[in-house]
């Protein structure tokens, strides 16, 4: 999805958009995507770890098949808790997401062989993040019926 398509989808999202599943508000969802993009570009660091065989199997299935994110999957370490909101409002959160994607593009242009830590799968390359992000965005955008 390019920036124009992303902005069109984000324009369909407002504070009152109801989720079809999950506990996130629209702003929580946008901020969650922003954090994930920042993790992928190294703007937020996550401690390195060795994934379990189960985690590696899930990584392989998610990244290299048509498998979609299951509804109700919990972000690692959060459980049923929502992260505190960082941005003043949803519009600022949307701007933050766009900015984080621009930083992601710049980071991997300057560091094409970099690997950054995913909280469930361990180190991912740019190519692996490029498989992960579209599925992750689709999952959360479909949560709010904007996909």
- So where are the chain's domains? 3-70+87-143
pTM for the complete prediction? 0.93
C-alpha distance from residue 28 to each of 54, 55, 65, 106, 123 (Å): 28, 25, 28, 25, 25
**pLDDT tens, position by position, 97-140:** 999 999 999 999 999 999 999 999 999 999 999 999 999 999 99
How far is 114 from 37, CA to CA, in rounded Å? Answer: 14
How far is 133 from 9, CA to CA, in rounded Å? Answer: 15
Q: In this structure, which topology does domain 3-70+87-143 adopt according to CATH? A: 1.20.120
């Amino acid at each position: 999805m390019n920036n124009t398509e992303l902005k069109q989808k984000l324009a369909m999202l407002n504070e009152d958009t109801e989720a079809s599943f999950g506990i996130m508000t629209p702003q929580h969802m946008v901020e969650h995507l922003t954090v994930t993009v920042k993790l992928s570009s190294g703007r937020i660091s996550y401690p390195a770890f060795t994934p379990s065989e189960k985690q590696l199997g899930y990584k392989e299935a998610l990244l290299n098949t048509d498998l979609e994110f299951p509804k109700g999957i919990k972000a690692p370490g959060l459980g049923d808790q929502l992260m505190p909101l960082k941005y003043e409002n949803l519009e600022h959160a949307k701007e933050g997401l766009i900015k984080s994607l621009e930083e992601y593009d710049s980071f991997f242009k300057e560091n094409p062989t970099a690997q950054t830590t995913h909280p469930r799968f361990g180190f991912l390359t740019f190519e692996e993040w490029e498989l992960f992000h579209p599925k992750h965005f689709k999952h959360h955008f479909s949560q709010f019926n904007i996909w």
